[in-house]
């Protein structure tokens, strides 16, 4: 199902490494918000702030609206490609963790969504990708030869059914806690493990929110985590733990500005910490807007070893190509990984066709062995609107 890197894919990779585009939005403040340059995979974060390039991104959370169409993905991902040569991946530095007795949970104001611009046509599906037509609602895809593995890449993804073998974690819902990574970055997280059966395969679903972190600050709201179709319920129904993480950058409650390399290391350290506590056999990442950019532009490019268990990601309102060029993202590392992008054609905060937007991100990862799929509905703006849990659940079921 994976495609060879096409001319368009190579062009998108070059564009992704070029200077990022400034875009003023009401939700994130001035147009000169900065994106730090991500370093090489697995490196410790620098003590100094990364060199920044301008990128403005709006993450206006809005109240949930009526139900929206959900993806109808029916094709399972192909068997993982075995790399020609492997070598062990260096682990993330062991962090420390402490329980927060009391956390000031001031509810973030919910800014109004930026006015939608003129709809733009979604790009046609490329070989090796699944795409959902915004008019028919059907998914379609064509297969292509998988890219050749890169010699000397990191170890191949674990075989199906393999677990981290982690132990010591309690299968309960846990109150907001604080985590400090080995690089000194600290942030809070919520963990939902009640009802998960450790005698069966256990999955881990990670969520990182958009600017303002409305979904994480309001975990019982149906906007993202709460409710019968929220991420916690849909993950639990699939015997998966939910880990919702707040950014260390609480000045904007966002992931895409400041020392982005250090934030990615923090998030990778927290995920590895949980993999060591629970017998996880499948990892899924999910994010909205700033959180979507964190996953595909910073976290996965800097820490591709996180995808060794397979699984994949689902990103909404963003999900561009790697900010560092993505040299560490290889077909061998991405074997068996799935990725799904949801961005409306009227999204003016993270425009669908921007060089740092969803289409460019999907093209890049499709060219690196990820089995990609997408929904680019006409007229939809920059809003999560309660679709998180349903969409993540359906992609997991289709994988």
**Looking at domain 7-38+50-63+125-398, does it have CATH number 3.40.50.1820?**
yes
Task: List strand residue ranges (DSSP E) for the chain, in order.
Answer: 34-36, 52-54, 86-87, 96-98, 129-132, 139-141, 153-154, 173-180, 186-192, 202-208, 240-245, 280-288, 312-316, 338-342, 371-375
Q: Which of 367, 369, 368, 375 shows the shortest CA–CA distance to 394?
A: 375
Specify the DSSP class assigned to residue 86.
Answer: E
Token pair of 64 as six digits: 């949930």
Other beta carbons within 10 angstroms of residue 151's beta carbon come to 11
Residue 61: its pLDDT value, please? 39
Token pair of 110 as six digits: 């919910």
Q: Which of 273, 249, 243 shows the shortest CA–CA distance to 261?
A: 249
Do residues 344 and 380 touch, judged by C-beta distance below 8 A? yes
Q: Which of 98, 88, 92 shows the shortest CA–CA distance to 273?
A: 92
Other beta carbons within 10 angstroms of residue 40's beta carbon come to 11
Residue 382's Cβ-count burial label (10 Å; 0-12, 13-18, 19+) is: buried
Distance CA 246, CA 291 (A): 10
Which contacts qualify for 149-153: CB closer than 8 Å, 24 or more apart?
A: 149/81, 149/82, 149/83, 149/84, 149/330, 149/331, 149/332, 149/335, 150/83, 150/330, 150/331, 150/332, 151/83, 151/84, 151/85, 152/85, 152/87, 153/83, 153/85, 153/86, 153/87, 153/330, 153/332, 153/333
Q: Could you give the count of Cα atoms lying within 13 Å of 2 in the half-sphere of its Cβ?
A: 27
Task: Give me the residue spans of the domains in the chain.
Answer: 7-38+50-63+125-398
Q: C-alpha distances in angstroms, 139 versus 247, 386, 394?
A: 34, 21, 13
- Angle at the Cα of 25 (from 23 to 27), degrees rounded to 5? 140
Residue 162: its pLDDT value, please? 84
Can you tell me whether residue 244 is helix, strand or coil? strand
Tens digits of pLDDT across the chain (399 residues): 333 334 444 444 433 433 333 333 333 332 223 333 333 344 333 332 332 233 444 333 333 333 333 333 333 333 333 333 333 333 334 344 433 323 333 333 333 233 222 222 333 333 334 444 332 232 333 333 333 332 333 444 555 558 899 999 999 999 999 999 999 999 999 999 999 999 999 999 999 999 999 999 999 999 999 999 999 999 999 999 999 999 999 999 999 999 999 999 999 999 999 999 999 999 999 999 999 999 999 999 999 999 999 999 999 999 999 999 999 999 999 999 999 999 999 999 999 999 999 999 999 999 999 999 999 999 999 999 999 999 999 999 998
């Amino acid at each position: 199902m994976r495609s060879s890197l096409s001319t368009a894919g190579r062009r998108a990779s070059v564009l992704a490494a070029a200077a990022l585009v400034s875009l003023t939005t009401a939700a994130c403040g001035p147009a000169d918000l900065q994106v730090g340059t991500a370093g090489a995979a697995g490196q410790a974060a620098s003590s100094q702030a990364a060199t920044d390039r301008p990128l403005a991104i709006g993450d206006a959370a809005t109240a949930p609206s009526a139900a929206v169409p959900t993806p109808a993905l029916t094709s399972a991902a192909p068997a993982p490609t075995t790399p020609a040569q492997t070598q062990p991946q260096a682990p993330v530095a062991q962090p420390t963790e402490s329980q927060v007795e009391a956390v000031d949970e001031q509810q973030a104001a919910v800014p109004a969504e930026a006015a939608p611009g003129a709809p733009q046509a979604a790009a046609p599906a490329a070989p090796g990708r699944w795409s959902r037509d915004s008019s028919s609602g059907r998914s379609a895809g064509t297969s292509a030869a998988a890219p050749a593995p890169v010699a000397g890449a990191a170890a191949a993804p674990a075989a199906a059914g393999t677990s981290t073998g982690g132990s010591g974690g309690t299968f309960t819902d846990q109150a907001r806690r604080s985590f400090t990574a080995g690089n000194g970055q600290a942030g809070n997280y919520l963990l939902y493990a009640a009802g998960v059966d450790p005698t069966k395969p256990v999955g881990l679903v990670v969520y990182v929110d958009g600017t303002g972190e409305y979904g994480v600050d309001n975990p019982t709201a149906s906007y993202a985590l709460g409710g019968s179709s929220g991420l916690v319920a849909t993950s639990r129904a699939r015997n998966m733990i939910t880990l919702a993480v707040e950014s260390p950058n609480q000045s904007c409650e966002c992931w895409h500005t400041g020392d982005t390399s250090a934030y990615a290391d923090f998030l990778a350290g927290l995920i590895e910490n949980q993999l060591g506590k629970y017998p996880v056999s499948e990892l899924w990442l999910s994010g909205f807007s700033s959180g979507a950019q964190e996953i595909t532009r910073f976290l996965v490019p800097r820490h591709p070893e996180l995808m060794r268990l397979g699984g994949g990601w689902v990103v909404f309102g963003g999900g561009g190509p790697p900010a560092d060029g993505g040299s560490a993202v290889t077909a061998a590392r991405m074997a068996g990984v799935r990725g799904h992008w949801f961005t409306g054609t009227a999204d003016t905060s993270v425009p669908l066709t921007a060089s740092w937007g969803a289409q460019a991100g999907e093209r890049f990862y499709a060219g690196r062995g990820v089995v990609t799929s997408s929904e680019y509905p006409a007229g939809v703006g920059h809003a999560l609107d309660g679709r998180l849990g349903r969409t993540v659940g359906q992609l997991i079921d289709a994988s």
